[in-house]
Amino acid sequence: MKQYLLNTWEALSTIFIGMKITFGHLFVPAVTIQYPDVRVRLPERVRNRLYVNMDDCIGCLQCARACPVDCIDIETVKSLPTEDLGKTSNGKKKALWVTKFDIDIAKCCYCQLCVFPCPTECIYMTDVYEFSEFGRNDLVYKFATLTNEEAKEKAAQYDVFMEEKERQKAEAAKAKAEAAEKAKKEKENEENKEDNKDK
Amino acid sequence: MHQLLEEIFGSELIAIIIASSLPLIFITVLVIFAVLLERKVAGHMQDRLGPMRVGYHGILQTIADFFKLIQKEDIVADTTDKRFFNLAPVLVFAGSYAAYAALPFSSAYIGSRIDLGLFYIVAISSLVVAGILMAGWSSNNKYSLLGAMRSAAQIVSYEIPTVLVILSMVMISANFTVDGKGTLSLMEISEIQTSSFWNWFVLGGAGFSLSKFLLLPFTMAAFLIFLISSLAEVNRTPFDMPEAESELVAGYHTEYSGMKFAMFFLAEYANMFAVSAIAAAIFFGGYQSPIGYLGNSLGIEWLVPIEQFFWFSVKGVFFVFVQMWLRWTLPRVRVDQLMTICWKYLIPYAFVNLTIIGIISLI
Amino acid sequence: MTIYDIIFYLFAAITVLSAFLVVTAKNIVHSAFYLLFTFFGVAGLYVLLGADFIAIVQIMVYVGGILILLLFGVMLTNKITSVEIKSGTIHVLPAVIGLGLFAAFVLSTMMTTKWKSNPAELPFTTVYDLGYILINEYVLIFELLGILLLIALIGAASIARKDKE
């Protein structure tokens, strides 16, 4: 009987204690952050969406090689010696046309391993974290500054250049070979002459 | 009120129809308000904010939700018992709506002035039980059936302490009526507790007699018992096993969607207010103002019923708030604990309370 | 025809129709649910007769108690996941004879009785007088009934209780 009354008392008193606590919390300022309107300040070194500053990219492919999930896809075309592609901000000379620089952010695991090898620090993590899309293909970001036509043109141009060079090389080689032959003949002729003199 | 309507519309039938649909408007407004209140109370008690986006601080959230609900597809599972599946929400809502017929909203408006008001409300709420069982069974889903069975067992069990407490309060009311007979009419019970909060039954009834001070602790105990058992009767936390989301999905309304689900929802909130209003009427003076009427002191007669309606709503909503408060304070009890609370604690206490109140009332 | 007449016919129709469905329904749970409307209709008829207390007791005891018990009984004693609970028609001939006799008896009583057709009175509070009579004139019967119910309750509990080994 005593236990019975004690149980009752305990139940009632603890309920009132609980109610007091919850009532107190009614007036505690909410910890909610009204997200789209108010945003939390992100830490300095957050890893979110990747961005590539194409002005600085030299197309060295180091980031693509570092990527553990192969989400970076780069294609480059060599430039002609006559073309000046400018310099990167830290003074490296650019020598390649970057015709394709695709990052499939859907695959990206935000490991930041691509950021460190970059010699020009042109690939980095930004603080943008809202980039949902309706289609998965929309998550493939294309950073290359050249349009498809330009890329083709550059490739064709390089091919032409290479062919030209090849041809020039071949010609040069031919010329060289001819010259060598000529020289050889001349030498032989001279030797023959000297032989004749000796006789 | 009734006569006024009859004069305006010139027909008894139209007056009856309009008078009987007034609580429906009240319930709709109340539910829109109470759902928002529930979410806001829940939010702030957990240091959150609750809905914030629709309207200023989310005040239009419930209306938006309502439009969402009526747009929804009405999904009826293939193996349900169609006829009863469709009937059950109507029955549940009818049961909770019928209780409003005997609630005195003010001295000018009560659905029906029957003398058995309280008894009627207790009886008609059994329609809700039948409706819940119907919903659970016709859903053809084991969780729904389990939820319905639990709910029925729970409501039937907790009706006993509720009725015992109501009985003891009716016995107290016999001390204050003119002819010495107790009354079951909520209107008369409210009338007895008039003019000041000092006369409320929770404080032992009117006057300064010795019996009032003797009764005071027991009426307070009666109020606690009533509060606890009314929580169980409307399936609110900590007694919400019938719709326990974490174990029974959602109990008897698992299979319901769209407007039918909205009916259950409406019925639940209507029930919450109904039991709160009964608690207010038998313990806290019903529609009577605790501090006197502005209309009386200004001499404007028609202001009094409006004030009474205001006080009735405020008291009702306050107890609805207490229910929410308890919901966010207490965890859900187990089924065996539920039955223990009812049969081993509440019923003995209610019995002892009834006996003591009876003896004190006699002397 | 006043509103009350219309309401009377409404309740009468509900009672008769649902009673018919109780008997004809194949599924016994359906029968139980239809029984709810029968009880409810009967309660409505009581109200129209001015017997409000009886009407409410009708709802409370039959709808709130017996019907729920019935449903529990049906649901707990049968397979609840598959609907195998059926009621069929058997013994047609004896039933027809019995029912015919009963119908003849009811009809003859109806024809021979002189019906009082007083205008309906406004219902007054019956609960106080009923209570007064119950614990004054009929107190013995009242107490005996109470004891009977108590015995039934204790008996049911002792049957349901597990034997302690």
Check residues B312 and B211 and name the one with the higher pLDDT.
B312
What is the pLDDT confidence band of residue C103, given thresholds at 50, 70 and 90? Answer: very high
CB of B228 within 8 A of CB of B322? Answer: no
C114 & C140 share domain: no
B274 & B192 share domain: yes
Q: Which of A83, A64, A91 is nearest to A75 (CA)?
A: A64
b/e code B249-274 from CB counts within 10 Å (16+ = b): bbbbbbbbbbebbbbbbbbbbbbbbb
C137 & C149 share domain: yes
Q: Do B133 and C68 touch (CB under 8 A)?
A: yes
A31 contact B CB<8A? yes
pLDDT of residue C85 exceeding 70: no
Q: What pLDDT is recorded for position C84?
A: 56
C82 & C22 share domain: yes
Q: Which of A8, A25, A32 sits opposite B49 (nearest CB)?
A: A32
B21 & B119 share domain: no
If you count DSSP H runs as helices and E runs as strands, how many of each does chain A have, helices first?
Answer: 3, 5
Helix (H, G, I), strand (E, B) or coil at A50: strand
Q: What's the complex ipTM?
A: 0.78
Q: What pLDDT is recorded for position C108?
A: 93
Two tokens at B30?
């109340």
Q: What pLDDT is recorded for position C148?
A: 95
What is the pLDDT confidence band of residue C1, given thresholds at 50, 70 and 90? Answer: low
Question: Could you tell me how many residues make up chain A?
Answer: 199
Rounded to the nearest angstrom, the minimum Cα separation between B329 and chain A is 6
Check residues A174 and C147 and name the one with the higher pLDDT.
C147
What is the number of structural domains in chain B?
Answer: 2
Q: What pLDDT is recorded for position A197?
A: 66
Which residues from B are below 8 Å from C32, CB to CB?
Answer: none
Place of tokens 């349900």: B80
C72 contact B CB<8A? yes
H or E element: which one contains B24?
Answer: helix B12-45
B14, closest residue in chain C (CA to CA): C3
B182 & B126 share domain: yes
**What are the φ/ψ torsions at residue A101 (nearest 5 degrees)?**
-145, 90
Q: What pLDDT is recorded for position C16?
A: 93
C137 & C100 share domain: no
Q: What pLDDT is recorded for position A58?
A: 85
Q: Do B49 and A29 touch (CB under 8 A)?
A: no
What is the pLDDT confidence band of residue C144, given thresholds at 50, 70 and 90? Answer: very high
Q: Which of B313, B315, B317, B319 is nearest to B105 (CA)?
A: B313
Q: Which of A70, A35, A58 is nearest to A123 (CA)?
A: A58
Maximum Cα interatomic distance, chain A, rounded to a whole number of Å: 149
Instruction: Single out the residue in B14, B48, B71 at which a domain terminates.
Output: B71
C131: how many CB neighbours lie within 10 A of its CB? 13
pLDDT, one tens digit for every residue, chain A (199 residues): 888 889 889 888 998 998 898 888 888 888 888 888 888 888 888 888 888 888 888 888 888 888 899 888 888 888 777 777 777 777 778 878 888 888 888 888 888 888 888 888 888 888 888 888 898 888 888 888 777 788 788 888 888 888 888 888 888 888 888 888 888 888 888 777 777 766 5
CB of B148 within 8 A of CB of B132? Answer: yes
Q: How far apart are CA B291 and CA B296, in angstroms?
A: 12
Which residues from C are below 8 Å from B12, CB to CB?
Answer: 3
Instruction: Say whether pTM exceeds 0.80.
Output: no
C84 & C72 share domain: yes
Instruction: Single out the residue in B41, B71, B101 at which a domain terminates.
Output: B71
Which residues from A are below 8 Å from B349, CB to CB?
Answer: 8
Q: Which of B157, B135, B159, B165 is nearest to B148 (CA)?
A: B135
If you count DSSP H runs as helices and E runs as strands, how many of each does chain C have, helices first?
Answer: 7, 0
Q: Which of B69, B114, B14 is nearest to B264 (CA)?
A: B69
C62 & C137 share domain: no
Q: What pLDDT is recorded for position C92?
A: 83
Instruction: Single out the residue in B71, B100, B121 at which a domain terminates.
Output: B71
B155, closest residue in chain C (CA to CA): C64
Q: How far apart are CA B209 and CA B207, in angstroms?
A: 6
What is the number of structural domains in chain C?
Answer: 2
B29: how many CB neighbours lie within 10 A of its CB? 11
A28 contact B CB<8A? yes
Domain that holds residue B33: 1-71
CB of B261 within 8 A of CB of B253? Answer: yes
Q: What pLDDT is recorded for position A198?
A: 65
B122 & B15 share domain: no
B197 & B276 share domain: yes
CA dihedral defined by B186, B191, B197, B203, rounded to 10 degrees? -60
C11 & C77 share domain: yes
The top-scoring range by mean pLDDT among B230-239, B342-351, C76-85, C111-120 is B342-351
Two tokens at C87?
């009621």
A6 contact B CB<8A? no
Q: Which of B326, B324, B223 is nearest to B278 (CA)?
A: B223
Helix (H, G, I), strand (E, B) or coil at A103: strand
**Strand A140-142's sheet: what is its strand order?**
A72-78, A96-104, A140-142
Supply the mean pLDDT for chain B.
83
**What are the φ/ψ torsions at residue B238 (nearest 5 degrees)?**
-85, 10
Q: Do chains A and C touch (3 or more CB pairs under 8 A)?
A: no
What is the pLDDT confidence band of residue C101, given thresholds at 50, 70 and 90? Answer: very high
Burial (CB count within 10 angstroms: exposed 0-12, middle 13-18, buried 19+), residue A51: middle
pLDDT of residue B340 exceeding 60: yes
pLDDT of residue B1 exceeding 70: no
Give the amino acid at C50. Answer: G
B200 & B344 share domain: yes
Interface partners of chain A (CB pairs < 8 Å, 3 or more) are B
C134 & C97 share domain: no
Q: What is the pLDDT of residues C112-134, one digit of tens each?
A: 887 776 655 555 667 778 888 88
Computed over its alpha carbons, how large is the radius of gyration of chain B?
A: 21
Q: What pLDDT is recorded for position C82?
A: 54
What is the pLDDT confidence band of residue C47, given thresholds at 50, 70 and 90? Answer: confident
Domain that holds residue C92: 3-125
B297 & B148 share domain: yes
Domains with residue ranges and CATH for chain A: 50-146 (3.30.70.3270)
Q: Give just the sign of the alpha carbon dihedral B298, B304, B309, B315.
A: positive
Q: Do A30 and B45 touch (CB under 8 A)?
A: no
CB of A127 within 8 A of CB of A54? Answer: no
pLDDT of residue B46 exceeding 70: yes
Q: Which of B215, B190, B211, B189 is nearest to B202 (CA)?
A: B215
Check residues C120 and B355 and name the one with the higher pLDDT.
B355
Helix (H, G, I), strand (E, B) or coil at A100: strand
What is the pLDDT confidence band of residue C83, given thresholds at 50, 70 and 90? Answer: low
C10 & C58 share domain: yes
